[in-house]
Amino acid sequence: MSVIYDRVALIGLGLIASSMFWAMKRAGLAGEVTGYARSAETRDVAREIGLCDRVCDSAAEACKGADLVVLCVPVGAMEQVACDIAPVLKPGATVSDVGSVKKAVIDAVGPHLPAGVHFVPAHPLAGTEHSGPRSGFAELFDNRWTLIVPQDGSAREAVAKVEALWQGMGAHTEEMDAEHHDLVLAVTSHAPHLIAYTMVGVADDLRRVTDSEVIKYSAAGFRDFTRIAASDPTMWRDVFLNNKDATLEILGRFTEELFALQRAIRTGDGEHLHAYFTRTRAIRRSIIEAGQDTDAPDFGRGKRDG
């Protein structure tokens, strides 16, 4: 693969940025990659493990001369970073991000970017329960989707280059508008995360069942929830605060359905339960057929770095 950008700057050096770095290096997509993280400790780790060709001590320094700047910080920190880097952005440069919500990020970042800079928000649908600079790996985006949310006035060429970068890192890409993105993600990611966090919290609270029992006997079901509920707290706080409306809408629907199933349990309506569980099983099959998971016991992850 050939170089797409001569100079890329990654702002924020967690799971996504570090995976992007290794994926860009794997495919030779970028000339020099600079990086910046707010925490000195993170910058030290990055230097130690060779994450980024050059780790800078300010966001502005990292962005100076960059052809592409990717904001990889929690959604709530995007606006401040945009303010910090706006003065140094090169005319014709592209700014992108990897935030899990799009409308709030666009509202927070867009107004600060100077004319002549292209803004192409993006969201890779990939992650693990781990965070920080050491958690990244080149294969994270392979065969996963990255949603691209072009803005009115984004030059087509700038959008096409961002898509080419993600494809070069292994992802499929699709364009979507911000509002629809936020609704789709509320269903497929944000509401499930809040629900998992809630269930794990309930288990922890319940004094009639000891913590050690919850931990020892956490078979399928709860154990999967704990994995989801171990994701980065700051990132997820910002997701919920910034995708408030769609998340609350889905949670409202969820509560309605849950009450209906609870009533079926209470009244002994086995037919209702069986029909419901049969329908959800069919959805699982569709996901496997779509290649977004496997039905092997290791979920197709055996090839990764475990």
Rounded to an integer, what distance in angstroms lies between the CA atom of residue 128 and that of residue 15? 8
Dump strand ranges (E) for 102-224: 118-119, 122-124, 145-148, 172-175
Cβ proximity to a second copy: between 5 and 141 the closer is 141
Cβ proximity to a second copy: between 27 and 261 the closer is 261
Least distance from C-beta 216 to a second copy, angstroms?
6
Q: Is 95 helix (H, G, I), strand (E, B) or coil?
A: strand
**Binders of a second copy in range 104-163 (CB under 8 A):** 125-130, 137, 144-145, 147
- 237 interacts with a second copy by CB under 8 A: yes
Cβ proximity to a second copy: between 58 and 284 the closer is 284
Rounded to an integer, what distance in angstroms lies between the CA atom of residue 61 and that of residue 93? 15
Cβ proximity to a second copy: between 6 and 217 the closer is 217
**Binders of a second copy in range 157-176 (CB under 8 A):** 174
In order of 23, 104, 206, 227, the CA distances from 74 in angstroms are 21, 12, 32, 20
**Binders of a second copy in range 252-271 (CB under 8 A):** 253-255, 257-258, 261-262, 265-266, 268, 270
Cβ proximity to a second copy: between 85 and 238 the closer is 238
Task: Tell me the per-residue interface mask from 14 to 53 with a second copy, x by CB under 8 A, - otherwise.
Answer: ----------------------------------------
Q: Burial, 32: exposed, middle or buried (Cβ in 10 Å; 0-12, 13-18, 19+)?
A: middle
Which residue from 76, 99, 136, 168 is in contact with a second copy, where contact means CB under 8 A?
A: 76
Q: Is 30 helix (H, G, I), strand (E, B) or coil?
A: strand
Phi, psi of 9 (to 5 degrees): -115, 130
Least distance from C-beta 191 to a second copy, angstroms?
7
Tokens of 35: 């990086």
- 248 interacts with a second copy by CB under 8 A: yes
Only one of the segments 49-57, 84-92, 152-160, 276-284 lies at the binding site for a second copy (rule: CB under 8 A); that segment is 276-284
Name residues whose C-beta falls within 8 Å of residue 134's C-beta, 6 or more positions apart in sequence: 18, 45, 49
- 207 interacts with a second copy by CB under 8 A: no
